[in-house]
Amino acid sequence: MPPRSREDLRRLHLINALFAHATGQDLYLAEQIKAAIAFNLAEFEASVAQHPRAQKVYDAMFNAAAATLLARVFAGQPRHGFYHWDASLTLAAATPLFTRAEVMAGLRQLAPFRDSTLLVTNLRPALIPPGARATPRRQRDYEEALAFIRELAAARTVRGSNLQLLFL
């Protein structure tokens, strides 16, 4: 068996972290979930082998498929709240004003649940575009956005509730 690529290991650990409640941290089960997602993206994966620049697009598609699957898993658990915010939906989505509005909307939706998950996807690409350089200012904006979301979630979450905050 050939050694795994760095990207393959990253995806495996991502799936293991996202679905830890279902896999029990078992990498074999995480590999099964990863393989199922990869099977759905098999046609695009073949084009990635021919065009290495398409790797970032494949990663974005893999993350979106994992987020969709996670939403379906939590939809089947009526006692567990789930909210997904994609920060790259609009150009202004990752600005502090819209970030606060989206996170607050998610926290309002999750308030009735004792256990809940808030999934934030594409925050980094929204603030540091893939084709652009990661300048110190862009990197600082990204770090500040992460800290802002964490602090807002901590301040606005009901005491005694269990909120999992995930960034993809």
pLDDT tens for the chain, residues 1 to 168 = 567 777 788 888 888 877 777 777 788 888 888 888 887 777 776 666 666 666 667 777 787 888 888 778 777 777 888 898 888 877 666 778 888 999 999 999 999 999 888 988 888 888 888 777 888 998 998 999 999 999 999 999 988 888 988 888
Here the tokens at position 58 are: 């494949």
Task: Report the pLDDT value the prediction gives residue 37, as an integer from 0 to 100.
Answer: 82
E strands present in the chain: 80-86, 115-121, 162-167
The C-alpha atoms of residue 25 and residue 40 are separated, in whole angstroms, by 23
Query: Where is the domain boundary, 24, 51, 76?
Result: 76
Task: Report the pLDDT value the prediction gives residue 49, as an integer from 0 to 100.
Answer: 64
Task: Assess whether 103 and 68 both reside in one domain.
Answer: no
Task: Assess whether 97 and 147 both reside in one domain.
Answer: yes
At position 9, the amino acid (one-letter code) is L
Domain, as residue range, for 166: 79-168
Task: Assess whether 136 and 159 both reside in one domain.
Answer: yes
Task: Assess whether 147 and 111 both reside in one domain.
Answer: yes
At position 108, the amino acid (one-letter code) is R
Task: Report the pLDDT value the prediction gives residue 1, as an integer from 0 to 100.
Answer: 59
Task: Report the pLDDT value the prediction gives residue 152, as an integer from 0 to 100.
Answer: 94
Task: Assess whether 89 and 15 both reside in one domain.
Answer: no
Strand partners, 166: 119
Task: Assess whether 93 and 34 both reside in one domain.
Answer: no
Query: Which residue carries 């939809």 as its tokens?
Result: 75
The C-alpha atoms of residue 89 and residue 30 are separated, in whole angstroms, by 28
Q: How many domains does the chain have?
A: 2
Task: Assess whether 83 and 164 both reside in one domain.
Answer: yes
CA nearest neighbour of 164 among 80, 99, 67: 80
Task: Report the pLDDT value the prediction gives residue 104, as an integer from 0 to 100.
Answer: 93
Task: Assess whether 60 and 83 both reside in one domain.
Answer: no
Task: Assess whether 20 and 97 both reside in one domain.
Answer: no
Task: Assess whether 131 and 84 both reside in one domain.
Answer: yes
